[in-house]
Amino acid sequence: MTNTTTKKPASKLDTLEKLLKRKNGASIAEMMKATGWQQHSVRGAIAGAMKKRGHTIASEKIDGTRRYRIEEVGK
């Protein structure tokens, strides 16, 4: 009997979280492309699921594009 470890594939929320943890965060368009979700679904996930996971979301406008990121605690 072999001991195989099967890894669960990353969910779309995991993908979203990974994008938001980047230094420059992500735009709505980038998150839509990565998840295949519509704009309102991405915004809903940020407002609901990411906050339920305990993240604080920051947003800022850079060169005319709003970018969202997970704010690190203590910074």
Banded model confidence at residue 49, pLDDT cuts 50, 70, 90 = very high
pTM: 0.82
C-alpha to C-alpha distance for 49 and 4, rounded to whole angstroms: 31
Whether 56 is in a domain gets the answer yes
Count: domains in the chain: 1
C-alpha to C-alpha distance for 5 and 55, rounded to whole angstroms: 29
Q: How far is CA 22 from CA 26, 28, 63, in A?
A: 8, 14, 18
Q: What is the pLDDT of residue 70?
A: 95
- Asked if residue 75 has pLDDT above 60, the reply is no
- Which tens digits make up the pLDDT trace of 4-35? 667 777 899 999 999 999 999 999 999 999 99
CATH number, domain with residue 54: 1.10.10
Identify the bridge partners of residue 64 per DSSP, sorted by sequence position.
none
Whether 62 is in a domain gets the answer yes
Cβ pair 25, 66 in contact under 8 A? no
